[in-house]
Amino acid sequence: MKIAVVGATGMVGEVMLKVLSESSLPVTELIPVASEKSVGKQIEWRGKTYSVVGLVTAVEMKPDVALFSAGGQTSLDWAPKFAAVGTTVIDNSSAWRMDETKKLVVPEINANVLTKEDKIIANPNCSTIQMVMALAPLHKKYKAKRVIVSTYQSITGTGVKAVEQLENEYKGTQGEMAYKYQIHRNAIPQCDVFEENGYTKEEMKLVRETKKILNDNTIAVTATAVRIPVVGGHSEAVNIEFENDFDVNEVRTLLSETPGVTVQDNLEAFSYPMPLYAEGKNDVFVGRIRRDESQPNTLNMWIVADNLRKGAATNTIQIAEYLVKNNLL
C-alpha cells in the first residue's frame, strides 16, 4: 500500500508519521509530501530513509491513500487531483468538512457511512472529535437536547509558531507572535477568527460538525473556545441536557465500555483527566462525571485528549485502517 503524507514536515504531519508507524496499515511505500522548500529533505520512517517530494510528483506516484494536513487551500486545490488518479484522501483541514457530498468521520461513531466512492474524506476538528467520542454513546442512549461546551485548548493546535511564542515568553525573549497577545500566564478567548455572529470559527466547528457526525440537527450546541498555555492536549468542560434521565453510574459504565474512551473519575484518588497525562496517548479521557443539579436530565463532564493524536493523526489513520479492513479503497 502506497501512502502519502501531505504536510509531512508540519506538527500534525510528524505525528501522523509516528502514528502510521504504530499502525496495522500494510504500508509498502511512504511518500512524504511538503512544500517546495522542503523537497529533498530526508525522513526516517520504519528504518528506511525517504525523500520529501512536492505535490506534483506525489500525484504522479498515484498513492492508494493520501493523509492531508497542509491547510485548507492546499486541500481544496490538491485533494481533487489525487482523487482523480484514484487516491483516497483523508483531510485534516476544514476545507471539505461541511461539504454535503463529503463524509465527516470519527470511526468509532459513524464509519459506517463510508463507501468505495468516497475519495475525499474529512477528518473533524480536534476539539469536535474528543467531544463527540464521549457524547455519541450518551446521545444514543439518552438523546441529547442541548450541549454547552467550554474548551481549554493546547497551543499545539496553532502550530510550531505558537509553541515558539510561549517558549520565548518563558525566557523573556522577543520573537514572532502566533497570537495577538502574550499566551504565557494568560488565557485567550479566541481560537481562530471571528464570524459574523460573534463566535470564532473554532466554536462554530464544534456546533456544526457535532450535528453532522451525529446526524442530528435537532441537538442545540453552543461553544466557547479558549487558548491556554498548555501543550499536551485540549480539555473541555461539557454540559449536556438529555431528553431522558440517566443514572450517573450507568453513564460511567457506558463510557468505560466505549472503544477509544478511558474513564478517569475517582475523586477519592484525585483521579481525573489532565493534558499532562493525555499527551502522547490515543484515547479520549473523561472524568468529573456528575449530575448538573441545577436542572433535570443534565450531566457535566470533563474531556481531555491529545489534540495531535485522536484530535488529528490517530483519527485520520483509524479512518484509513477502517477503509483497508472493509475493502473500501
* Residue placing its CB nearer to ligand 2RA in the complex, 87 or 153: 153
Please report, as a single letter, which amino acid is at residue 28: T
Please, what is the minimum distance in Å from the beta carbon of residue 157 to ligand 2RA?
2
Q: Per the annotation, does 153 bind a ligand?
A: yes
* Residue placing its CB nearer to ligand 2RA in the complex, 39 or 231: 231
Please, what is the minimum distance in Å from the beta carbon of residue 245 to ligand 2RA?
33
Q: Per the annotation, does 307 bind a ligand?
A: yes
Residues 6 or more apart whose CB falls under 8 angstroms from that of 40 comprise 51, 52
Please, what is the minimum distance in Å from the beta carbon of residue 100 to ligand 2RA?
22
Helices 314-325 and 11-22: angle between axes, nearest 10 degrees: 40
Which secondary-structure segment (H or E) carries 110?
helix 107-110
* Residue placing its CB nearer to ligand 2RA in the complex, 147 or 308: 308
Please, what is the minimum distance in Å from the beta carbon of residue 307 to ligand 2RA?
6
Q: How many CB atoms sit inside 10 A of residue 56's CB?
A: 12
Q: Are 11 and 156 in contact (CB under 8 A)?
A: yes
| Contact set with ligand 2RA (CB under 6 A) | 125-127, 153, 157-158, 191, 202, 307
**126, 139, 184, 191: which one is catalytic?**
126
**139, 184, 191, 234: which one is catalytic?**
234
CA-closest candidate to residue 16, choices 329, 322, 309 = 309
Strands (E), the chain: 2-6, 29-33, 42-45, 48-51, 65-68, 88-91, 103-104, 120-122, 144-153, 220-227, 234-242, 261-263, 284-291, 298-305
Q: How far is CA 306 from the centre of its chain?
A: 9
Pairing of strands 220-227, 261-263: unpaired
* Residue placing its CB nearer to ligand 2RA in the complex, 127 or 210: 127
Please, what is the minimum distance in Å from the beta carbon of residue 148 to ligand 2RA?
19
- Catalytic, 191? Answer no
In eight-state DSSP terms, residue 312 is: I
The residues pairing with 215 across neighbouring beta strands, listed in sequence order, are none
| Cell output for 144 | 441529547
Please, what is the minimum distance in Å from the beta carbon of residue 139 to ligand 2RA?
22
Q: Per the annotation, does 11 bind a ligand?
A: yes
Helices (H), 112-159: 126-142
Q: Per the annotation, does 12 bind a ligand?
A: yes
Q: Per the annotation, does 10 bind a ligand?
A: yes
Q: Which residue is nearest to ligand 2RA (CB)?
A: 157
* Residue placing its CB nearer to ligand 2RA in the complex, 225 or 251: 225
For every residue of 207-268, DSSP letters joined together read HHHHHHHHT-TT-EEEEEEEE-S--S-EEEEEEEEESS---HHHHHHHHHTSTTEEE--BGG
Q: Which parts are annotated binding residues?
A: 9-12, 37-38, 97, 153, 227, 307
Which residues make up each annotated binding site for phosphate?
97
Q: Residues at the annotated binding site for substrate?
A: 153, 227
Catalytic positions: 126, 234
